[in-house]
Amino acid sequence: MAPPLRSETSTLLGAQLVFNVGFYAVVPFLTSALSGEYGMGAAAVGLILGARTFSQQGMFLVGGMLADHWGPKRSILLGCLVRIAGYVTLALATDFSLFLLGAVLTGAGGALFSPALESQLSRADGTEQPQSGKRRSVFVWLALTGEFGALVGPLIGAALLGWGFDAALAFGTGIFCVVTLVLWFRLPASPRPKRQTGDGGGRRTGLAFPEAAKDRRFFLFCVLVSVNMVAYNQLYFTIPLELNRLGLGEAWLAGLFLLASVLTLLLQLPVAAGVQRLGEARAMSVGFVLLALAFVLAATASTMRESGVSAVVILAAAVGLLVLGHMSLTPTILSVIPRFLRSGTAGRGAYYGLAATCGGVGVLLANGTLGFLQSTAGQAGWEPGLSLLLLVALAAAASAVLPFVVPSESAAIRVGTRARTAAVKR
């Protein structure tokens, strides 16, 4: 049983909840606003959404390094301020360039906030040691708290859209202003962590990044698992476009987001238990199969000329499979990354940062490609949604190759033994 949450831990979990409410009240409806209210094409919308995701995922490594340099509190507060600047820019935007800038600032705010919050959360809860039994419980609460925010946010956003997209932006801006003030007073100033390398010296942890970048096996792993992020990002890109094409409004989109959040809240723990029984490599393979099946269904729905119960049911089933695959993949991916480390815990942030960066690059490239294919589909005489078959192929490839890329658990044990031996010698 997890211990009672400390005051600082509760504050951080509450911040994650509010941060997600402010995010999901706005970003899920960005596609509909850009393509509807502002009349942008699919290619432009895809680039804006891809840039937002890339600026967040691609900067996670930078955000973690800044948290180490400044201390987590400063990075958390700066992340809130940058997110506020992003929302204000989106509210004032009248052309593509300003929308792109607002989306990039929105993503950069998350890149500064999230790694700093996770670092401070582990410190506040006394879970800095990798083998601590508390670590899993506190991060499970973080996931569930964030998902509850993802559940409430779209409902608030859908309600505010009756007054226009700017109303949702105003709500998001206001809630981030409030959480910034609360965190300013509630979070204690934290000492800057000591910077060290695997050899026990006092040099910068950033020197470990080339080791992660040169690890070809790990780079292949990052490329393959980036398909998971690309796939889940379609909840905010191609799924809303399909709903628009079928003539279904924001209420249906909010319903699909509600379905995704409810499934996550109800099934995350049972899915995690299933992953433990299957083993990490097999579970990831199954997860990508579920993603492939999800996009087969979504492509099928795109061939329907008119909206109806059957199209909605197919899209709902696609979202269900997408969420199940994502639930089985994301925690598993994060848990196996340390197996690639060659020097104990040194450079761990670089490995996680590289994985997140590959995901951001993948989303940018995939959304740009899918947007281009959907924009030119009419001229080629085929249904725009058939471009989703590209994601089917990517997910199938990841499912087939990943079991041969993930190191065995025995390799991780050997790394841990070497690290403990080196620590004793020091």
At 184-221, the pLDDT tens digits run 988 877 555 555 444 444 444 443 445 667 788 999 99
Find the mean pLDDT for residues 49-73: 77
Find the mean pLDDT for residues 310-336: 87
- pLDDT of 397 reads 95
Residue 203 lies in a domain: no
- pLDDT tier, 319 (very low <50, low <70, confident <90, very high otherwise): very high
Asked if 139 and 235 sit in the same domain, the reply is: no
- pLDDT of 6 reads 66
Contact 90, 101 (CB under 8 A): no
Residue 222 CA to residue 381 CA, distance in Å, equals 35
- pLDDT of 42 reads 78
pLDDT higher at 134 or 158 = 158
Residue 322 lies in a domain: yes
Q: Is the pLDDT of residue 349 over 80?
A: no
Q: Is the pLDDT of residue 379 over 50?
A: yes
Q: What is the largest CA-CA distance in the chain?
A: 70
- pLDDT of 393 reads 94
Angle between helices 42-57 and 348-375 (to 10 degrees): 180
Residue 90 lies in a domain: yes
Asked if 178 and 217 sit in the same domain, the reply is: no
Share of the chain above pLDDT 90, in %: 21
Contact 145, 17 (CB under 8 A): yes
Residue 128 lies in a domain: yes
Which range of 112-126, 168-182, 256-270, 341-355 scores highest in mean pLDDT? It is 168-182
Nearest Cα neighbor of 386 from 397, 376, 395, 396 is 376
Per residue, the 3-state secondary structure of 76-114, as one string, reads HHHHHHHHHHHHHHHHHCCCHHHHHHHHHHHHHHHHHHH
- pLDDT tier, 426 (very low <50, low <70, confident <90, very high otherwise): very low
pLDDT higher at 269 or 181 = 181
Q: How many domains does the chain have?
A: 2
Asked if 180 and 227 sit in the same domain, the reply is: no
pLDDT, tens digit (0-9, with 9 covering 90-100), for 4-35: 446 778 888 888 899 899 988 888 888 888 88
Residue 116 CA to residue 330 CA, distance in Å, equals 19
Please report which helix (H) or strand (E) contains residue 343, including its range.
none
pLDDT, tens digit (0-9, with 9 covering 90-100), for 82-93: 999 999 999 998
Q: Is the pLDDT of residue 227 over 70?
A: yes
Asked if 294 and 176 sit in the same domain, the reply is: no
Find the mean pLDDT for residues 318-344: 83
Q: Which of 117-126, 264-273, 311-320, 333-342 has the lowest mean pLDDT?
A: 117-126
Give the sign of the dihedral formed by CA 214, CA 220, CA 226, CA 228.
Answer: negative
Asked if 114 and 225 sit in the same domain, the reply is: no
Asked if 60 and 171 sit in the same domain, the reply is: yes
Asked if 124 and 236 sit in the same domain, the reply is: no
- pLDDT of 135 reads 41
- pLDDT tier, 286 (very low <50, low <70, confident <90, very high otherwise): very high
Residue 316 lies in a domain: yes
Q: Is the pLDDT of residue 375 over 70?
A: yes
Nearest Cα neighbor of 315 from 250, 228, 229, 256 is 256
- pLDDT of 81 reads 95
Asked if 302 and 184 sit in the same domain, the reply is: no
401 lies in which domain range? 210-426
Asked if 217 and 346 sit in the same domain, the reply is: yes
Decide which of 158, 188, 218 is a domain's last residue: 188
* 383 Rama class: left (phi>0) / alpha (psi -120 to 50) / beta: beta
Asked if 292 and 324 sit in the same domain, the reply is: yes
- pLDDT of 77 reads 92
**CATH number, position 292:** 1.20.1250.20
Give the position of tokens 């192929």: 393
- pLDDT tier, 420 (very low <50, low <70, confident <90, very high otherwise): very low
Residue 103 CA to residue 49 CA, distance in Å, equals 7
Asked if 417 and 338 sit in the same domain, the reply is: yes
- pLDDT of 285 reads 94
Nearest Cα neighbor of 47 from 117, 110, 96, 112 is 96
Decide which of 188, 222, 257 is a domain's last residue: 188
CB half-sphere exposure, 189, CA atoms < 13 A? 2
Residue 41 lies in a domain: yes
Residue 195 lies in a domain: no
Report the 10 Å Cβ neighbour count for 245: 18
Decide which of 124, 153, 188 is a domain's last residue: 188
Asked if 223 and 154 sit in the same domain, the reply is: no
Residue 205 lies in a domain: no
